[in-house]
Amino acid sequence: MADAASIFIIPPPYHHHLSHTSNSSFCTSIRTPILPTQTPRRRNHSHHHQTLVVRCCITTTTTANQKKNPISWGCDTDSLENASALQKWLSEAGLPPQKMSLQRVEVGERGLVALKNIRKGENLLFVPPSLVISANSEWSSPKAGEVLKRNGVPDWPLLATYLISEASFMKSSRWSSYISALPRQPYSLLYWTRSELDKYLVASQIRERAIERVNDVAGTYNDLRLRIFSKYPHLFPEEVFNMETFKWSFGILFSRLVRLPSMDGRVALVPWADMLNHSCEVETFLDYDKSSKGIVFTTDRPYQPGEQVFISYGKKSNGELLLSYGFVPKEGTNPSDSVELSLSLNKSDKCYKEKSEALRKHGLSVSQRFPLQITGWPLELMAYAYLAVSPPDMRNSFEEMAAAASTKTTSKKDMRYMEIEEQALQFILDSCETSISNYTKFLQGSESMDLDVTSPKQINRKLFLKQLAVDLCTSERRILFRAQYILRRRLRDMRTGELKALTILNGFRKFFK
């Protein structure tokens, strides 16, 4: 049998949200570019068209700010009237005849459905660049666009502001039909309140990611407001450009923005294409096709008339899918699923200061999160564990361990410190079991959780959020259970081997007495 620990370690690149589909690198300052995604992003959907997902309208809770500044554009997520108007406008604007139509579907509420037989390997969509929203799109308010570009606003906040600006022009905007077909409230953790995040995602590390994202959006808006909007109130009135509208526009971007590799990596919103729902079973994604001069995707399976056509939003964990799109695939159906395991240095460690400095030098903190998958864990996690348990007489290796724990290090090798491997594996196991305990406590408590609401609509919302949280925590705990099993088995084998070697050694000693 192969070594259990070695077959369970994933070589880099490992981190699902540090790969080609990252939108987690979103930055708070408009002076720092915000990194988008390569694959299409959208709202709620599921792993495959045969499986239903729990969903409901989550526009039922209204905050004080929403009452003051309601989003007056967009539509309900299942609106076919707005979808029909979008199709008509796109055709009149140059979208060629399609083999798909936008219809109400079981998965995703609205989706693109095959009208004819579609072959595997066929190119679909052909959305021309003229129907794509990018940083180069013309503004209905040219002066507003000039001000933002003059101030060096990067693509993400630029597009967020552009979307709000065009929405505020209503029918006079070229993009009116598209904006009217966008959800009035995108499915996103941006719309969960802090108390909801604390209550329902208490066991999951996605809670921290969601809080970071909410803070990032608020920070970006405040930076824009202080540096630009307040200086040009006639171009950016607060009743239009406020926190609520930015939450909406960033919710749209997080769920729909794509990066097009063949257009020099340009980030863009692609009307019509962003109506495609996600499946964990497909790998095809959008790109610009130079021969047809349109945005296309190549099918990796055939479709019959009436079947919903799917696309991949990238290799994302269930937590990331909930974070941006507001849905969780059925447990066990997402091969890219993972759970983040939090590890921390022990403050009572005699070498705490030296280890902290080594981590800081390589862009890490004393507390780090690493992804576990059913298939294994990354080399970086093992390197961090080695550092965490290493004794003072190994201080010459602290630098090497910290470097190996960093995702920024390009050259990776499977380091083995046999003298402390058992302690490192036990350190990871202890963290796993602590996390499992937190998940179990939440899942057991969720059965009798008091929803604390009076309105029927609020009850629907709370039940919906609770179910999403239960689905997420169940899938994440499943991965932790697998890691726990592997770690326990590996430690048992190591300790059994040590005991056997000690028994043999003692036998030799008795023999030579």
Helices (H), 286-391: 318-325, 352-361, 379-389
Quick one: what percent of the chain has pLDDT higher than 90?
66
Domains and CATH numbers, the chain: 4-325 (3.90.1410.10), 338-505 (3.90.1420)
Please give the full DSSP string across 244-292, using - where no structure is assigned: HHHHHHHHHHHHH-EEEGGGTTEEEE-TTGGGPEE-TT-----EEETTT
- pLDDT tens by residue, 206-246: 999 999 999 999 999 999 999 999 999 999 999 999 999 99
Confirm or deny that 256 is annotated as ligand binding. yes
**Residue 404 corresponds to which amino acid?**
A
Confirm or deny that 277 is annotated as ligand binding. yes
**Residue 484 corresponds to which amino acid?**
Q
Average pLDDT, the chain: 83
Gap between the terminal Cα atoms of the chain: 37
pLDDT band at 416; cut points 50, 70, 90: confident
Output the pLDDT for position 136: 93
* Residue 107, both tokens: 């998965």
SS3 content of the chain, % helix, strand, coil (to 5): 45, 10, 40
Output the pLDDT for position 201: 96
Q: How distant, in Å, are the alpha carbons of 68, 144, 161, 228, 245 from that of 239?
A: 9, 16, 13, 15, 9
Average pLDDT over residues 190-206: 94
Query: Among 6-15, 207-216, 421-430, which stretch is predicted with the lowest mean pLDDT?
Result: 6-15
Output the pLDDT for position 473: 96
Confirm or deny that 325 is annotated as ligand binding. yes
Output the pLDDT for position 50: 37
The pTM assigned to this predicted structure is 0.81
The yes-or-no verdict on residue 97 having pLDDT over 80 is yes
- pLDDT tens by residue, 261-295: 888 888 999 999 999 999 999 999 899 998 888 99
* Residue 433, both tokens: 């079991």
Most confident of 252-261, 298-307, 401-410: 298-307
Other Cβ atoms closer than 10 A to 394 = 17
Average pLDDT over residues 45-73: 45
Using the structure block, give the residue that is written with the tokens 């796993």.
Answer: 432
Other Cβ atoms closer than 10 A to 512 = 6
Closest CA to 452 of 461, 444, 440: 461
Element spanning 111, H or E = strand 109-114
Output the pLDDT for position 503: 61
| Phi then psi dihedrals of residue 471, to 5 deg | -60, -45
The yes-or-no verdict on residue 25 having pLDDT over 90 is no
Helices (H), 42-133: 64-68, 80-92
DSSP strands (E only) in 319-428: 339-344, 367-372, 377-378
Output the pLDDT for position 213: 95
Output the pLDDT for position 407: 80
Element spanning 295, H or E = strand 294-298
pLDDT band at 35; cut points 50, 70, 90: very low
The yes-or-no verdict on residue 49 having pLDDT over 60 is no
Q: Alpha-carbon distance 267 to 263, whole Å?
A: 9
Output the pLDDT for position 75: 87
Q: Alpha-carbon distance 297 to 126, whole Å?
A: 8
Confirm or deny that 395 is annotated as ligand binding. no
Confirm or deny that 313 is annotated as ligand binding. yes
Please give the full DSSP string across 442-495, using - where no structure is assigned: HHHHHTT------SHHHHHHHHHHHHHHHHHHHHHHHHHHHHHHHHHHHHHHHH
Taking only Cα atoms into account, the Rg of the chain, rounded to an integer number of angstroms, comes to 26
Average pLDDT over residues 72-81: 82
Output the pLDDT for position 497: 77
Confirm if 380 and 14 have CB atoms less than 8 A apart. yes
Confirm if 371 and 377 have CB atoms less than 8 A apart. yes
The yes-or-no verdict on residue 139 having pLDDT over 50 is yes
Output the pLDDT for position 451: 61
Q: How distant, in Å, are the alpha carbons of 5, 67, 83, 179, 250 from that of 76?
A: 49, 18, 11, 12, 18
124 alpha carbon, distance to own chain's centre? 26
Output the pLDDT for position 46: 42
pLDDT band at 456; cut points 50, 70, 90: low
Closest CA to 265 of 287, 283, 298, 238: 287
Using DSSP's 3-state secondary structure scheme, residue 218 falls into helix
